């Protein structure tokens, strides 16, 4: 196949659709995943505000959602997607399943990052009379920012991979182009180009996350 202007236009639109799905899904996933991760840490047995029952229930739900393969989740949440966005296909229709899949993963990433914070810092805040919400937003989360940013880079690159799989059910984007032309029509040059573009996007996100993490790390200033 010749790479004419129309082909490059199609690939360009596909790349913008992938960036759109990744950006919106990442933002919404963090809106849900960040507080969930904080709750997991705060309510654990040795946490700032221990609530073992809530912690177990929330952890159980998160583990169930994480265990469902994304391609299956895509199909399972189609009725919900239809209600939320009015359609089951297209980039916008892929955002709900992307969020359902990524938010639990992000919650665990946030949990892991917060647990890296030196408990002595938290104890110092407690000794000065800081309230729970003050410890969370002025001590716990700020201290974990470098680790959270590294986790964000990993999470976003995972979501990029999910957008490629969304091409199987009409999600459009680079994944859809690779599947339609590379798999069904055996036009491998297009599949190679779309794959390279996905790799480039992943590398940019990963490098950006690592760079921001280093800049925010007070230990290496």
Cα pseudo-dihedral 215, 23, 153, 104, rounded to 10: 130
Whether residue 221 is contained in a domain is answered as no
The SS3 call for residue 218 is helix
Which residues constitute the domain of residue 174? 5-216
- Cα–Cα distance, 165 to 146 (Å, whole number): 30
**Number of independent structural domains in the chain:** 1
CATH of the domain at 173: 1.10.3720.10
Whether residue 112 is contained in a domain is answered as yes
pLDDT tens digits for the chain (221 residues)? 567 788 889 999 999 999 999 999 999 999 999 999 999 999 998 888 889 999 999 999 999 988 998 889 888 888 888 888 888 888 999 999 999 999 999 999 999 999 888 888 888 888 887 788 888 888 888 889 999 999 999 999 999 999 988 888 878 889 888 888 887 788 888 889 999 999 999 999 999 998 988 888 765 55
* No. of helices (H) and no. of strands (E), the chain: 10, 0
């Amino acid at each position: 196949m010749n790479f004419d202007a129309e082909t490059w236009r199609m690939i360009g639109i596909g790349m913008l659709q992938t960036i759109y799905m990744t950006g919106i899904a990442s933002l919404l996933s963090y809106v849900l995943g960040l507080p969930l991760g904080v709750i997991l840490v705060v309510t654990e047995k040795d946490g700032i505000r221990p609530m073992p029952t809530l912690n177990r229930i929330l952890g159980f739900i998160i583990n169930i959602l994480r265990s469902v393969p994304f391609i299956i989740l895509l199909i399972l949440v189609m009725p919900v997607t239809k209600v939320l966005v009015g359609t089951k296909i297209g980039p916008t229709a892929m955002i709900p399943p992307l969020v359902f899949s990524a938010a639990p993963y992000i919650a665990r990433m946030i949990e892991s990052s917060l647990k890296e914070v030196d408990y002595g810092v938290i104890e110092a805040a407690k000794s000065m009379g800081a309230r729970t919400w003050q410890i969370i937003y002025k001590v716990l989360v700020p201290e974990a920012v470098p680790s959270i940013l590294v986790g964000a880079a990993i999470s976003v690159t995972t979501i990029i991979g999910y957008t490629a799989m969304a091409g199987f059910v009409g999600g459009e984007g680079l994944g859809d182009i690779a599947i339609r032309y590379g798999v069904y029509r055996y036009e491998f040059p297009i599949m190679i180009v779309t794959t390279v573009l996905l790799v480039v996007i992943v590398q940019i996100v990963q490098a950006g996350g690592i760079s921001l993490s280093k800049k925010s790390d007070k230990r290496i200033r």
